[in-house]
Amino acid sequence: MGNNSYPSVAIIGGGLSGAAVAFHLARRHASATLTVLEPRATIGAGLAYSTPDPAHRINVPAAKMSLIPAEDRHFVDWISRTHAIADDPEAVSSNGEVYARRIVFGRYVFDHLKPWIASGRIAHVRDSVRAIARAGSHWSLQTASGRTLLADIVVIATTHPAPEVPPILADGLKDDPRLIISDAMTVSPLSGIEPEARVTIIGTGLTMADTVASLDRRGHRGTITAISRRGLLSRPHATVPYQPFGQFDQSAPYSALDLLRKIRTTIREADALDLQWQAVIDQVRAQASAFWPKLPETERRKIVQHLRPYWDVHRFRIAPQVQRVIARRRSEGTFTSRAASVTAAEANADHILLQLRTRGKRALEEHRTDYVIVTTGPAHSRAVEVEPHLNSLASAGWIRADGLGLGIFCDRQGRAISREGQAVSSLLIAGPLARATFGELMGLPQVTSYAQEIANQVIQELDRMRMVGQPMPEQFAKAR
């Protein structure tokens, strides 16, 4: 528990972002009391890495995933030491890269938090936060179970709001069990789908691919149709090792069009050197935080609205094992992807009738299916609206949604920006909800690096509090 003169830190959300912040704080700051509020039984896995489905794999080679940014092989070495993939021969791809099951990475993160939890340095409160308010010089947190906790510093590590169902489907298929909202991290919604059922998936990204892999593993052999406005599918990983290539931070792009031109030019230069395009995209990702803030907001909005779908399918690549499932299903004639929009939905006794408009065409067509699965991903643009604790902060003016619909507005240090435009030094935004400020904050390398920076910022604020003698709230210690 610690001495009550020590400042306290409450981390809301115990997925990867929150766990990584807690981990780096526990390693570097011995005096602060750290509490992670997370309703799941363990911290560190969150939504992405708690899935029990063996078909769900990390979509980044294990050698590029690490809780400690300076130690690239931290996860790989843990896998070797613990024999974590001994029962999973498919984890190793043809080029030797390891794509472990998602749950394995969750275990890895928790394994490195366990000593800190056992020692009491990190307290895990199995509860969710419903409201946050200022209480004197502290923050007051109201939980779902009715607790009131006080903290000196709050780190918002809530990452993935629930997916938003397209209104046409929500209205036309209201309360119909054949409309399934999939986050691709849970198996149970798919368990009732018959092997020969016709399935239509809304969305063509990685969540769709994971859903197809899950259905395939469960013996589904019916037809699957994946639909999105552009019909873009996630691209594959490079077939040979490479280093990031290109320069996007020194000669920074000044517009969305200029960025697109620079990427295309650099890919041609890479191709002339027998380098694959993935090397260029990885460099853009790595240097985005340098050029993104320099772009006018109008240009950032153009990138989000027009270029992001193309960026996403090149940036978030499909694991080879999952790609093979998609390729096999396509060759068997049981998987197709389409660039189309749903214009109407109607539930009938023996099928669901969708009305589709193919991209670039005026004519409408009927599409009969047995199930509709929504895999459009988390509704980040509505996070402040739908998450009660974020809504309470926004209502009081402590935070505001960013202008790009990506999450919460914060400064380069991760401090929330209030309604009045002031940085709130004791309220920090961790994880992808801060990406409007940095441009790229969804991939694991960026998430863990940013978590370390948030931990550094917390330490600076803790040291300032210690200098002015701000005590840890007595109520917080008792609640723990």
Q: What is the CATH number of the domain that holds 422?
A: 3.50.50.60
User: Is pLDDT above 90 for 163?
Assistant: no
pLDDT, residue 187, reads 52
328 and 204 co-located in one domain: yes
| Residue 114 sits in the same domain as residue 92 | yes
Using 50, 70 and 90 to split pLDDT, how confident is the model at 476? very low
Asked if residue 323 and residue 301 are part of one domain, the reply reads no
209 and 264: one domain? no
Co-location of 339 and 358 in the same domain: yes
> For 370-391, what is the mean pLDDT?
89
Instruction: Indicate whether this model's pTM tops 0.85.
Output: yes
Is 241 a member of any domain?
no
The 3-state DSSP class for residue 29 equals: coil
Residue 242 domain-assigned?
no
Look at residue 139 and tell me whether its pLDDT is greater than 90.
Answer: yes
Domain membership of residue 303 as a residue range: 256-315
Do 306 and 452 share a domain, yes or no?
no
Looking at residues 259-279, what average pLDDT do you find?
Answer: 97
- Dump pLDDT digits (tens) for 17-38: 999 999 999 998 767 889 999 9
Final residue in a domain of this structure, among 374, 409, 444: 374
Tell me, what's the pLDDT at 329? 98
| Same-domain pairing of 102 and 231 | no
Residues 40 and 83 in one domain: yes
Convert the pLDDT of each residue in 66-87 to its tens digit. 999 999 999 999 999 999 999 9
**Residue 2 is assigned to a structural domain of this protein:** no
The confidence score (pLDDT) of residue 186 equals 52
Please indicate, yes or no, whether residues 96 and 211 belong to a single structural domain of this protein.
no
pLDDT of residue 474: 38
What is the pLDDT at residue 183?
A: 63
Torsion of CA 147, 389, 152, 453, to 10 degrees: 130
- Please indicate, yes or no, whether residues 30 and 135 belong to a single structural domain of this protein: yes
Q: Is residue 248 part of a domain?
A: no
Amino acid (one-letter) located at 469: G
Whether 3 is in a domain gets the answer: no
Tell me if 249 is assigned to some domain. no
350 φ/ψ sector (left φ>0, alpha ψ -120 to 50, else beta): alpha
pLDDT for 455 equals: 96
- What pLDDT, in 10s, does the model give residues 279-314? 999 999 999 989 999 999 999 999 999 999 999 999
Q: Is residue 223 part of a domain?
A: yes
Question: Among residues 334, 349, 374, which one ends one of the domains?
Answer: 374
Domain boundary (315, 344, 360) is at 315
Residues 212, 180: one domain? yes
How many Å from the N-terminal Cα to the C-terminal Cα in the chain?
8
What pLDDT band is residue 469 in, cutting at 50, 70 and 90? low
* Residue 383 banded pLDDT, cuts 50, 70, 90: confident
Domain count within the chain: 3
Q: Answer yes or no: is 228 within a domain.
A: yes
Same domain (yes/no): 18, 121 = yes
Which band of pLDDT confidence, cut at 50, 70 and 90, is reported for residue 3? very low
pLDDT-based confidence at residue 149 (cuts at 50, 70, 90): very high
